[in-house]
Amino acid sequence: MTHPILTVLPAAPGGGLPAGAAEVLGAASEIGTPVAVVVGPADALAGLAEQAASLGATTVHTATADGDQLGVPAADAAAAAVALVQPDAVLVPATIEGRDVAGRLAARLRAPLAADIVGVSRDDEGVVVRHSVYGGAYDVDSAATFGPLVATVRLGAIDARAEAATPDVHEFAVEASGRRAAVVEGFEPAPQTSSRPDLRSAKKVVSGGRGLGSKEQFALVEQLADALGAAVGASRAAVDAGYAEQSLQVGQTGTSVSPELYLAVGISGAIQHRAGMQTAKTIIAIDKDASAPIFEVADLGVVGDLFTIVPQLISALEARKG
């Protein structure tokens, strides 16, 4: 196998492959041969392995991680898979569980780690990864001085997809490392809110801020998002005020998004908010304050009252749909 690239896919806490699985396999296919290690409950492994193959994993190594130990079993399996596959690089989706596994894996392998990468390539000396730094103000490339690089891949950042592969699945037994782990006592899935796209990988995002004024009125943002087939996002002030879930926060300390369209409603555009959205292709902003800094990055800025503009926009979109 030329240039094996190991993707690490721990089953999501609620089941299924982790978010970003297609993306890391796509990235792997750009720099070598995609291989996957899938870790999860015994009865789910066959299905997960098949999915990984359909997303491009030419070989899938599966390992069982039943039980209630947090983080350590997935790291044990990933470390064993690295020994087996001898990859040029290890790519892990930058999900929450993925970041935990990556940190542990890098420590075990004594390998360097590139965090939150947005692109991969190859030069004469090996794998090079790209980071988007300071809210998209800089592009930085990094590489390992020698040996394999472990990288966490920002969700939604990779467009490449690998061709589906014929499943070639190998189950392997992992010797437990015996590292001390926290114990999981329970998991509560987040309530599924309709069929809206995932914020992190959506092509369009409609975000609402403190200007919405209440949780009830925040529904306006959701209606506009639905009219556009967009994901819903929020500013930190809107999250703090309880209008939206923390997982919807866009910005410096929330999610960084780079969609085709970002529509900001009642968001002033503080520097920390812009850090998470200013690389969007097209930005539209609606705010009643003409001096709001969001207008500095908007392709179309509309000064006015969101409570009249947004309903009119929704009707206009519905009318155009016919």
Partner 1 sequence: MKIVVLMKPVPDTWGPRVLSLETGLADRAASETVLDEIGERALEAALRHAESASDVEVVVLTMAPEAAQSTLRKGLAMGAASAVHVADERLAGADLGRTAEVLAAALRRGGFDLVIAGDASTDGVGGVLVPWLAELLDVPAITRLESLEITADAVRGTRATDGGSMVAQAALPAIVSITEALPDPRFPALRGIMNAKKKPVEQLTLDDLEVEADETASPRSIMTAVAERPPRAAGEIITDEGDAGERIAAFLADRRLA
Cα gap 177→173, rounded to integer Å: 12
DSSP string, 234-296: E-HHHHHTTSS-GGGBBSTTSB----SEEEEES----HHHHTTTTT-SEEEEEES-TT-GGGG
Instruction: Name the residue nearer to partner 1 (CB basis): 42 or 184.
Output: 184
Cα gap 251→273, rounded to integer Å: 4
Site map 246..285 versus ligand FAD, x via CB under 6 A: ---xxxxxx-----------xxx-x-xx--x---------
| CB distance 39 to 171 below 8 Å | no
Instruction: Name the residue nearer to partner 1 (CB basis): 11 or 60.
Output: 11
SS3 316: helix
* Contact call for residue 292 and ligand FAD (CB under 6 A): yes
Number of residues that bind ligand FAD (CB under 6 A): 28
272: Cα separation from own chain's centroid? 19
Site residues for ligand FAD, 90-149, by CB under 6 A, read none
Residue 276, contacted partner among ligand FAD, partner 1, none, CB below 5-8 A by kind: ligand FAD
Residue 292, contacted partner among partner 1, ligand FAD, none, CB below 5-8 A by kind: ligand FAD
Site residues for ligand FAD, 184-223, by CB under 6 A, read 209-211
End-to-end C-alpha distance for the chain, whole angstroms: 53
SS3 206: strand
Residue 25, contacted partner among partner 1, ligand FAD, none, CB below 5-8 A by kind: none
Task: Return the number of other C-beta atoms located less than 10 Å from residue 167's C-beta.
Answer: 16
- To the question of whether residue 236 is assigned a binding role by annotation, the answer is yes
- To the question of whether residue 249 is assigned a binding role by annotation, the answer is yes
- To the question of whether residue 271 is assigned a binding role by annotation, the answer is yes
- To the question of whether residue 309 is assigned a binding role by annotation, the answer is no
Residue from 181, 288, 280, 187 nearest 233 by CA: 280
Q: At what angle do helices 21-31 and 45-54 cross, to 10 degrees?
A: 50
Q: Which stretch binds ligand FAD (CB under 6 A): 64-72, 122-130, 190-198, 233-241?
A: 233-241
Residue 165, contacted partner among partner 1, ligand FAD, none, CB below 5-8 A by kind: none
Instruction: Name the residue nearer to ligand FAD (CB basis): 18 or 218.
Output: 218
Instruction: Name the residue nearer to ligand FAD (CB basis): 84 or 241.
Output: 241
Residues placed in the known binding site for FAD: 210, 235-236, 249-253, 266-273
Q: Which residues bind ligand FAD (CB under 6 A)?
A: 209-211, 235-238, 249-254, 266-268, 270, 272-273, 276, 286-289, 292, 305-307
